[in-house]
Structure 1
Amino acid sequence: MKNTNILRKVLKHFAIMWLLTGVGFFVGSVLPPTVLLPVSIITILLLIIAIFVRNIRMMNTILYCIPFLVGITFFWSTQFYIDQLGIETVLITLIGTIVIFAILGFVGSVTKSDLSGWGGYLFGILLVAILVSIVFFFFTPSNFILLLLAAVIILIFVLYTIYDFNRIAKGHVSEEDVVSSALDLYLDFINLFLNILELIWRIREEFK
């Protein structure tokens, strides 16, 4: 029962974060493209603080700033994919991601195994993927390599989604961790959605 209550609280904060993303999305629609880089840098810095510096005052405020800022960058990301793939493909991908996320959440919640041991491995693999992405930002590889990278990142966040829901189900999330756990799920979804779009775009580019 306690874990069910924690899950409800996490999902409540998860929903609030999406409301903040909606506000950020609207703000992004009226701002010039020049804000994208500074907003992205600030978002990354706040994410680093959220990951490595948990015990500071106003941490929840910082955690709630992230979805708002992501919403601003999310506007420009979705506009790019709408231009490249069409709005129908983007909407279908969004619906598909919601379904996949729900299925992964169910799997993570009902599996009998405690998957808390996955955390270190997933974080290490994610760091490698981030470093590779940074290198590729300066030295652009072939489209096929970027396609493979998107597929790997999708797999990472598939496993992360199962892991994060499993942590809640197995009682590893306390009352104090509710907001940070909601942010984890939020980032799982965002990264799944954007990288599925990236994969679709790369596949289309590969077979033009």
Structure 2
Amino acid sequence: MAESTQHVNKQQKQSKTNLNHNRMHIVKYGYSLCITGLFWYWLLFWTILTMEWRKPLSFVLLALVLITVIFNRARKYGIVISHIYAIVVGLLSYATFTAYLQNLGRKFSSKYHLAISAFIVFGIIGYFLIGNAASMGKYLFVTLVALIIASLIGMFIQNPIFHTIITVVGLLLFLLYTLYDFNRMKRGQFSQEKWALIYL
């Protein structure tokens, strides 16, 4: 009796394993098809991508970030979400970089390199120089939520000082989150499914 129960349990575990394997195969196949389709879309239509894409893609990006923050189940698909995020950011960056390069030229290029340098410096500080930055997490999250709400309000308020404050707070928050996430990486606080979401 005990042997038959063990045999049934073993068969059930085997069928669950096979089912999960098949699901993962379907997801990977569908994902590779999507990436291929997006690549060909980019190759064919990159030259006619206009600034009108910017606002809807910004909302897609905001929705993607909010979904990963609010829903824990979305974190299982961290690799897929991070690739979609990278594609959307790339499309947004194309329109943004084109506009800024036309208007600012070399000034924009120097500021872009300054932002990359700041990211590297704060990453090094968070990884090598700070022991434990865990207490920063709750304050950073509250500030992020407040910044998102303020940005949505800022769409309806045409006040340059308000927009400047949002920009400065967003920049500081970006740098502090960089420091915080690199510190978490050092302490090994990311599970395997969360590694891809670090970039978000």
Aligned counterpart for 2:88 among listed residues 69, 80, 91: 69
Counterparts of 1:79 and 1:169, CA distance in 2:
37
Which consecutive unaligned segments of at least 5 residues does structure 1 have?
1-22, 185-208
CA contact (8 A) 1:46 1:66 kept: yes
**For residues 148 and 116 of structure 1, do their structure 2 counterparts lie closer, same or farther at Cα, with a shift above 3 Å needed?**
same
**What is aligned with 1:188?**
none
Say if 2:170 is the partner of 1:153: yes
Structure 1 partner of 2:109:
91
2 CA distance for matches of 1:49 and 1:43?
10
The alignment of Structure 1 onto Structure 2 pairs a total of residues equal to 159
1:101–1:161: 8 Å Cα contact kept in structure 2? yes
Q: 1:47 aligns with which of 52, 61, 65?
A: 65
The ranges of structure 1 where at least 4 consecutive aligned residues each deviate by more than 4 angstroms after the TM superposition are 23-29
8 Å Cα contact 2:130-2:183 kept in structure 1: no
Q: Which has the larger radius of gyration?
A: 2
Corresponding position of 1:80? 99
Q: Assess, with a 3 A threshold, how the Cα gap between structure 1 residues 35 and 109 changes in structure 2: closer, same or farther.
A: same
What is the distance in 2 between the residues matched to 1:108 and 1:95? 20
Question: RMSD value over aligned CA atoms?
Answer: 2.3
Deviations 1:131-187 (A, max 9, x none): 11111111211x233222211211111111110100001111222221111x23xxx
Alignment deviations for residues 5-62 of structure 1 (CA, whole Å, 9 cap, x no partner): xxxxxxxxxxxxxxxxxx7987655323333333222222222222122324644212
Looking at structure 1, the residues matched to 122 and 99 of structure 2 have their Cα atoms a distance apart, in angstroms, of 27
Deviation at 1:83? 3.4
Q: Tell me, yes or no, if the aligned pair for 1:25 and 1:75 is still in contact at 8 Å.
A: no
Q: CA deviation at 1:99?
A: 1.4
Q: What TM-score, normalized by structure 2, do the two folds share?
A: 0.70
Counterpart Cα distance in 1 of 2:71 and 2:88: 19
Return the structure number with greater relative CO, CA threshold 8 A, min gap 6.
1
Does 1:136 find its partner at 2:154?
Answer: yes
Identity of aligned residues (%): 22
